[in-house]
Structure 1
C-alpha cells in the first residue's frame, strides 16, 4: 500500500522517466540471464564431452591391452615386460578359470580374485569401479575381458593414473567432475546430484555417465558481466526512447500549440520590401508569416510551416496571411498616389490551397480588394507546383482575374524548360543559393546566368532573393535583374515600419 501511494504521488513526468528506465531493464534482464545460463550450460556441455572422450579412450585402450594379453597368455614374462613399459601405473592380470595366473607387476601368481569378481557381479558389467581394500576412497576403474576358452584378463587402473589421464578434475570454470558407473561414482568424495548450473552427459560407447558442476565464482563472473552489459544496453535503449519520446511529444505539442496559436492569433505578418535594382525604390513587398509562441518566443518558419503542411493547417495560415495583410494595408492611403503603379504584394501559397475551387474564388476577391488599395496580389508558388496540367490551368484562371503569378525558388526543383514555357506567369524568383555564388568560383554561377537569360527570353520580371552584399546587387544590376530582395535593403518589417518606409501617412481615424 505504501509503495502504491508513493507511486501515485509521483508526477506524470517522473512516472514516464521511471517507465523508460525500468521497462527496457525488465525486457533486457531476462534475456541477459538466459544468455548467461545458455553460455554456462554450453560450456559445461563442451567440457563434459571432453571428459567422456578421455574416459572412452582409457577404457578402449584397456580393452585392447586385455585382448593382446589373452592372445599371448602362454608367455607371462613377455606380457609383464610389455605392460610394465607401457603402463607402469596400472596392473594387468591374466585369468584362468577366475583365478589370477599372471600379473604385469608381480609375474606368475596363483591368487583368488573373488573380491574383484564379486564387485563385477554386482556391477553386472565388464567395466566397473573397484574399491581397493574395500575403501571407497581408493576406488578405481577395472576393465575385464573373457575369451571363449575360459581365459581372461582384467586391468586395474591406479587411481592417480586415472585422474591424470582424465585431466584436471576442477578448474576455474568447473568445481567438480563426477563419473558414475553402475551404482558407484568416481571420485567417491565428489557429490553426484544435478543443480542449476550442472551438466549430465552419457557415454554412447560405454555404460557410464559424467556430471559436471559449474564453479560458483565462474557463474558469478558471467552473471556480473551479463548484468553490466544488461544495464549498459538498457540505459542506451532508455536514452534512445527518451529522445524519441521527447521529439514526439515536442512535435506533437508544437503541432497542438500551432493549432491553438492560429485560433489565438499568435501568428502575424511581416513584410520584406522588393526594390528596383536601378534606384533602390520599393516596387513591391512579400508577406511573410511569423509565429510568436507564448513560451518559445519566435518559432522559425522552416519549423512551423512544414509542420502546418503535415497537420493540414497550411490553408488556415494562408487565409490568415491574406486577411491580416488586407487589414494592415488598409492603413496605408495610396489613393493620393494613384499615378504611381501598384505595388507588388507577394503571398506564398501552398499547392493544397489551390486544389479547392473556393480558395480560387477567395484569391480573386482578395486580389480585387488589394487592387483598390494600390497593391497587386501576386501568388508565389514553387516550380514543383506547376508541373501538372491542372496546376497550369489554375494559374491561368487566376491571371485572367488579375492575380499575378510568381515562380518561387526557381532552379531548386526539377521543372523542365518545356513546362516553364507552357506556364503563364509574371515573375521569376531566383533562389538565394544562386545569389550566394556571385563572386565565387562555383558551379552555381553559370547556372545563375542561365536562369537570368531564360527569364529575359520568357519576357517575365526577375526577382533575386537573398541579396545581402553590394557586390551581389551590382552584379545583378549588370545582368539586368530588375528587382532585388534581401537583407541588404531590409529585414522583414512590421506594418508600422512599412508605413514609415513608404512615407505615407495613415488614414485619419
Structure 2
C-alpha cells in the first residue's frame, strides 16, 4: 500500500481534499440513515401504541355493554367484573339525573357534569378528560356509551397516565422518545404538554380520531448518528481515497486473484500435513494435505481468505493440480507404512474437467510407487450434481478413494448419501464439539455415525481436541480420528520427525 501511494505526487490541497471528503460524505450519510431509522422506529412505536389504544377502546365497548345491562343497585357485580382489568381505572354508571354507581366506590350520587358537561353525555364517544371524580388532577381517556331507550349509560375510564408512560422507558439509555402527547377532539393527555427542543413527529390513527405527538430524544439521535459515522467513515475514506488516487493517476492494481495466479507460478504455496489416527490401534494411517500461502507482501495468508477467492476466480482447479504435484514431490523420498494414505481437498468443479480421469490416474500411479494411496475429500461448498456423482463413481472404479469432507455443514444431506458413491465420510468439527454437551446437535452426531455404519462408510472424525471426545468416538466405532489432540498440521520436515517418533512408540 505504501509503495502504491508513493507513486502519486499530489499537492497538499489535493491530499487535504481527499481527507476531508470522506468526513463530509460520512456525516451526510450518517445523518440521512439515522433520520430515516429514528423516524421509522418512532412511527413504529406510535402505531404500536395506537393499536394498543384501539384494543383498550374495543374492550371498553364490551365493558359498556355489560355495565348498561346491570340494574341499579348492582354495583357489587360491576366491581367484581372490573377486578382484573388493570388498565382501566373503573366504570361509572349514570342515568338522566346523576351518576349513581362506580366500580371503585360503589353507590355514588354525583352530578352529571362532574366528569363532562351534560350535553356530551348524550353521545357515545371517546374523550380525554383532565381529571375524574376518583382522581382529581390526573387525566384519563373515557369511553361513553348510552342506551337511548332507557336513558342510562356507562363511562369506562382508561388510565391515561399509565398509557402515556408506556411510551417512555426512563431506565433505558438512549431513550427513543422523551415526551409523548395524545390528542383527541382538541384535548390532550397530558393536559399541559411539556415539549422540549427535540424534533416532534405526529402519528395519526387510521380512523383519524386519535393523534400521537412524539418528541424524539436528541441523545438517541446523537447516539446512533455517531455509531453510523464510525462505521461509515472508514468505508467512505477508503472509497474516496482510492477513487481519488485512481482518478488522478491511473495505476494498474493487481487483484488477489491475480496474486493467486502468480503465486502458483512462483510456487508461493506450500503444504502442511495433519496425521490421521486409527482409533483401533492408535497408529497414523495417513495424513491430510492442507495448502498454505506465503504471500511476498502480505505474509502468511489464511486459507479461509484465499480459497473462496480461488473458487470465484476459477483458479481452484489449477491450485488443486499444484497441490497434487507438490505432494508428489514432498513424498518422493518418504518411507511410510504400507497402505499409508494422503487426503486431498477437492472442490466439486474439479470433476467437470475433461481430463479429470487422466490426472487422477497419474496421481494414483505416482503415489502407488511409493506405497501411498490417494484419498479425495470433496468439499461441500458447491452443489453436487448427478454428473459429478457419475464422475466420482468412475474414479472409484479406478481405485481412487472418495470422501465427503466436513459432512453436515454443506450441500450434502442424509438422503443424498443413499445415492452418492462414497468410501469415507468425515464428520465436521462442529458436531465433535457437542460431545459431552446436552444439546439438540449432540444427538445429530450419533445419527450420522449410525447411518455411516449402516451404509458401510469408513468414518473419520475431524477436530478431535480432548481425550473425552476421542474415547466417545472410539466407543461408537468411529474408524479414524484427526485433530490437535494427536498432532497439528506440520511442514514436511516436522512430519518426518513426527512419524519416526510416532512409530517408535
Q: TM-score, normalised by structure 2?
A: 0.52
Residue of structure 2 aligned with 1:240, choices 225, 235, 244: 235
Q: Name the residue aligned to 2:347.
A: 350
Three-state SS of the structure 1 residue aligned to 2:453 is helix
* Alignment pair present for 1:269 and 2:268: no
For residues 324-378 of structure 1, give each alpha carbon's deviation from its aligned partner in whole angstroms, at most 9, with x where no partner exists: 00011112134xx5xx3x1121100112211112133211211111111111111
Alpha carbons 2:347, 2:380 under 8 Å: kept: no
Q: Judging changes above 3 Å, is the alpha-carbon distance between structure 1 residues 233 and 266 closer, same or farther for their aligned structure 2 residues?
A: closer
Once the two structures are TM-superposed, the CA of residue 318 in structure 1 deviates from its matched residue by: 0.2
Three-state SS of the structure 2 residue aligned to 1:274 is strand
Alpha carbons 1:328, 1:495 under 8 Å: kept: yes
Q: In the aligned structure 2, how far is the partner of 1:412 from the partner of 1:287?
A: 21
Q: In the aligned structure 2, how far is the partner of 1:408 from the partner of 1:274?
A: 14
Q: Name the residue aligned to 1:452.
A: 449
Q: Name the residue aligned to 2:327.
A: 325
Alpha carbons 2:18, 2:241 under 8 Å: kept: no
Q: Which structure has the larger Rg?
A: 1
Q: In the aligned structure 2, how far is the partner of 1:234 from the partner of 1:474?
A: 52
Q: In the aligned structure 2, how far is the partner of 1:484 from the partner of 1:21?
A: 57
Three-state SS of the structure 2 residue aligned to 1:417 is coil
Q: In the aligned structure 1, how far is the partner of 2:26 from the partner of 2:452?
A: 63
Q: Name the residue aligned to 2:473.
A: 476
Q: Judging changes above 3 Å, is the alpha-carbon distance between structure 1 residues 280 and 234 closer, same or farther for their aligned structure 2 residues?
A: closer
Q: Judging changes above 3 Å, is the alpha-carbon distance between structure 1 residues 384 and 267 closer, same or farther for their aligned structure 2 residues?
A: closer
Once the two structures are TM-superposed, the CA of residue 311 in structure 1 deviates from its matched residue by: 1.6
Q: Judging changes above 3 Å, is the alpha-carbon distance between structure 1 residues 253 and 247 closer, same or farther for their aligned structure 2 residues?
A: farther
Q: Name the residue aligned to 1:406.
A: 403
* Alignment pair present for 1:382 and 2:379: yes
Alpha carbons 1:406, 1:425 under 8 Å: kept: yes
Q: In the aligned structure 1, how far is the partner of 2:23 from the partner of 2:450?
A: 61
Residue of structure 2 aligned with 1:432, choices 426, 429, 433: 429
Three-state SS of the structure 2 residue aligned to 1:357 is coil
* Alignment pair present for 1:285 and 2:287: yes
Alpha carbons 1:387, 1:419 under 8 Å: kept: no
Q: In the aligned structure 2, how far is the partner of 1:263 from the partner of 1:357?
A: 22
Alpha carbons 2:403, 2:422 under 8 Å: kept: yes
Q: Judging changes above 3 Å, is the alpha-carbon distance between structure 1 residues 407 and 18 closer, same or farther for their aligned structure 2 residues?
A: same
Mapping 1:45-60, distance limit 5 Å: none
Please state which structure has a larger fraction of its residues in helix. 1
RMSD between aligned residues:
3.6
Mapping 1:182-197, distance limit 5 Å: none
Q: Judging changes above 3 Å, is the alpha-carbon distance between structure 1 residues 245 and 349 closer, same or farther for their aligned structure 2 residues?
A: farther
Q: Judging changes above 3 Å, is the alpha-carbon distance between structure 1 residues 21 and 372 closer, same or farther for their aligned structure 2 residues?
A: same
Q: Judging changes above 3 Å, is the alpha-carbon distance between structure 1 residues 9 and 496 closer, same or farther for their aligned structure 2 residues?
A: closer
Q: Judging changes above 3 Å, is the alpha-carbon distance between structure 1 residues 236 and 347 closer, same or farther for their aligned structure 2 residues?
A: closer
Once the two structures are TM-superposed, the CA of residue 502 in structure 1 deviates from its matched residue by: 2.7
For residues 59-83 of structure 1, give each alpha carbon's deviation from its aligned partner in whole angstroms, at most 9, with x where no partner exists: xxxxxxxxxxxxxxxxxxxxxxxxx
Once the two structures are TM-superposed, the CA of residue 293 in structure 1 deviates from its matched residue by: 1.8
Corresponding pairs, count = 292
Once the two structures are TM-superposed, the CA of residue 238 in structure 1 deviates from its matched residue by: 5.6
Mapping 1:455-466, distance limit 5 Å: 455-466=452-463
Alpha carbons 1:427, 1:460 under 8 Å: kept: yes
Q: Name the residue aligned to 2:491.
A: 494
Q: Judging changes above 3 Å, is the alpha-carbon distance between structure 1 residues 20 and 499 closer, same or farther for their aligned structure 2 residues?
A: same
Q: Judging changes above 3 Å, is the alpha-carbon distance between structure 1 residues 256 and 343 closer, same or farther for their aligned structure 2 residues?
A: same
Once the two structures are TM-superposed, the CA of residue 413 in structure 1 deviates from its matched residue by: 2.8
For residues 127-167 of structure 1, give each alpha carbon's deviation from its aligned partner in whole angstroms, at most 9, with x where no partner exists: xxxxxxxxxxxxxxxxxxxxxxxxxxxxxxxxxxxxxxxxx
Once the two structures are TM-superposed, the CA of residue 460 in structure 1 deviates from its matched residue by: 1.2
Once the two structures are TM-superposed, the CA of residue 449 in structure 1 deviates from its matched residue by: 0.3
Alpha carbons 1:271, 1:493 under 8 Å: kept: yes
Once the two structures are TM-superposed, the CA of residue 473 in structure 1 deviates from its matched residue by: 0.4
Mean Cα deviation higher: 393-402 or 380-389: 380-389
Once the two structures are TM-superposed, the CA of residue 278 in structure 1 deviates from its matched residue by: 2.5
Q: Judging changes above 3 Å, is the alpha-carbon distance between structure 1 residues 457 and 385 closer, same or farther for their aligned structure 2 residues?
A: farther
Three-state SS of the structure 2 residue aligned to 1:464 is strand
Question: What are structure 2's unaligned runs of at least 5 residues?
Answer: 1-6, 32-226, 247-252
Question: What are structure 1's unaligned runs of at least 5 residues?
Answer: 1-6, 33-231, 505-509
For residues 226-269 of structure 1, give each alpha carbon's deviation from its aligned partner in whole angstroms, at most 9, with x where no partner exists: xxxxxx999986643224578999x9643333232222111101
Q: Name the residue aligned to 1:10.
A: 10
Once the two structures are TM-superposed, the CA of residue 478 in structure 1 deviates from its matched residue by: 0.5
For residues 170-210 of structure 1, give each alpha carbon's deviation from its aligned partner in whole angstroms, at most 9, with x where no partner exists: xxxxxxxxxxxxxxxxxxxxxxxxxxxxxxxxxxxxxxxxx
For residues 45-72 of structure 1, give each alpha carbon's deviation from its aligned partner in whole angstroms, at most 9, with x where no partner exists: xxxxxxxxxxxxxxxxxxxxxxxxxxxx
Where does structure 1 differ by over 6 angstroms across 4 or more consecutive aligned residues?
Answer: 26-29, 232-237, 245-249
Mean Cα deviation higher: 233-242 or 491-500: 233-242
